[in-house]
Structures are given as C-alpha cells and as structure tokens.
Amino acid sequence: MGITDEELAALPNYPQSALFSPVEKLVLELAVAMCRTPAEIPDGLRDALLEHLTPAQLTEVVATIAWENHRARLNRALGVRAAGFSDGAYCVLSHRPPD
C-alpha cells in the first residue's frame, strides 16, 4: 500500500488532516520525534502506539524510520544530490520552527 499524491501533499499538516487514520498520525508523530536532534520520544507516544501495534510491529516501524533517517543523514553528509529520477515530482518538507 502506497501513499497517494493527496496524502503526500497533506503531510506538513498531518495532525489536522482527515486523510490519515489515528494510528498513521501516531506513526508520523513518531517519525518527526525520531528525526529531531536530539531524538526524544515521549513514553506516552510509545504507549499510544502499543494500543494499535504489537511490540514486534512497533519495533519494525521504529527500525524503518531509523534506517530512512540514517540514509538521509548519510546522503547529506556525503553531498548526494538529486539525480533526476523524480523530475516533475516534489518532496514535501516538514514545517520547521525558526532557530
């Protein structure tokens, strides 16, 4: 199952979007928290996710988020740039509060 263009465009405002289920919103909240520096995950978020997922499923979600965050940071550190494979598409950037 993939993400639709409409869902992709709604990612910056996922908490208010009706396009995402409650568990999807929790997973997105987890991804945002895990990609911050420092990565601080509230116990309440883990508890809320465990109401929907088994411990094994949560582990898989966390591992996937960690792996993608690792790849993104590695690519940035190595100066990897776009190679034109997604011409015409776009990458949604999360809202970042000012420093």
Question: Domain total for the chain?
Answer: 1
Q: Which residue has the higher pLDDT, 76 or 59?
A: 59
Q: Is residue 89 part of a domain?
A: no
Q: What is the mean pLDDT of residues 24-38?
A: 95
Q: Is the pLDDT of residue 66 over 90?
A: yes
pLDDT band at 57 (very low <50, low <70, confident <90, very high): very high
Q: Contact 33/21 with Cβ under 8 angstroms?
A: no
Give the pLDDT of residue 8.
87
Query: How far apart, in whole angstroms, are the C-alpha atoms of residue 12 and residue 57?
Result: 25
Q: Is residue 83 part of a domain?
A: no
How many helices (H) and strands (E) in the chain?
4, 0
Q: Is residue 11 part of a domain?
A: yes
Q: Is residue 92 part of a domain?
A: no
Predicted model pTM: 0.80
Query: How far apart, in whole angstroms, are the C-alpha atoms of residue 42 and residue 33?
Result: 9
In the chain, the N- to C-terminal Cα span, in Å, equals 36
State the chain's mean pLDDT as an integer. 88
Give the pLDDT of residue 23.
97
Q: Is residue 39 part of a domain?
A: yes
